[in-house]
Each structure stands twice: as C-alpha cells, then as structure tokens.
Amino acid sequence: MVDPISVSSAMVGFVAFSIQVATAAAQFVRDATGFPNEVVRLCLATNEFAILLQRLCPSIQKIEERYDPEGIARSILY
C-alpha cells in the first residue's frame, strides 16, 4: 500500500516545480520581447564591420608588399 503522506508530498513538490517552470517561462517571454530588434541591430553592425574590413584589404596588401616583399609574415601565419 502507498503511503498517503509520501504521495501528497510528491504532488506538492511537482506543483511547486510546475509553478517555478511557469514563472521562468513567463520571465523569459518578457525578456525576449526586444530580441528581434537586437538581432537586427547586431547583424547590421557586423555587416558594416565586414564592409570596413573589405575596404581595408587593398591597403593591407600594399603595406605587406612594401614592407614584407618576401612574404615572411605570410609563411609564418599560414
């Protein structure tokens, strides 16, 4: 036979766990309301940074050709 006190304490623990999960889910939904806007801004900033790096590539190549014509730095890095 099952002990009624054990069953009731298990039910109370399960209900407390369910309430805690529901509270955490509600908090997550409240915090995630601005998420799409933040992702869009992060993507735009990353794209702008990539464009700046692409614009710097010719200058970096000229500097490497002028100061490292033998490609020593490239052989070390690659």
Read off the pLDDT of residues 3-57 as tens digits, 9 standing for 90 and up: 777 777 888 888 888 888 888 888 887 877 767 887 788 888 998 998 888 888 8
**Domain hosting residue 23, numbered range:** 4-77
Q: What is the pLDDT of residue 44?
A: 87
Rg (CA), the chain: 29
DSSP 13: H
Q: What is the pLDDT of residue 75?
A: 54
Checking if the pLDDT of 73 tops 60, the result is no
Domain count, the chain: 1
Find the mean pLDDT for residues 48-76: 76
Question: What is the pTM for the complete model shown?
Answer: 0.44
d(CA 66, CA 78): 19
Q: What is the pLDDT of residue 24?
A: 87
